Amino acid sequence: MAYIDGFVIPVATTNRDAYQAHEAKWWPHFRDLGAQSIVVGWGDDVPPGKQTDFLRAVDLKADETVVLCWMIWPDKSTRDAAYKQMEALASEDPTGFMDMPFDGKRMIFGGFTPILMEGV
């Protein structure tokens, strides 16, 4: 059964190109380890909510934009194995996977078992 990783990330608006390059650099590694697809969306219509919202979830600053992304995996075990391999690869890369062009402490993320997937 498919498995989904979801992320909501605060990115400095001026770092859009650097963030896009970061995702483009690392996507082939995830793909080669089994990820089936990635979607990265740059927020352009992310309104404040009355009780909670994406903005508060990542403690968004005035000079930042919310990014929503997800990766689809064939199953959770493939995803788990891939992350272990990515940790090893990241430690070997001098530019570092963890050298992220955003504040990773305010990123929210999680893994999800789909209960409905259409048109994927």
Domains of the chain: 3-112 (3.30.70.100)
Residue 30, classified by CB atoms within 10 Å of its CB into exposed (0-12), middle (13-18) or buried (19+), is: buried
What pTM was estimated for this model as a whole? 0.88
Q: Which two tokens stand for residue 34?
A: 């089994």
3-state helix, strand, coil in the chain (%, to 5): 35, 25, 40
Question: Over the stretch 31-76, which tens digit does the pLDDT of each residue have?
Answer: 999 999 999 999 999 999 999 999 999 999 999 999 999 999 999 9
State how far the Cα of 93 lies from the Cα of 102, in Å rounded to an integer: 18
Instruction: Give the pLDDT of residue 97.
Output: 56
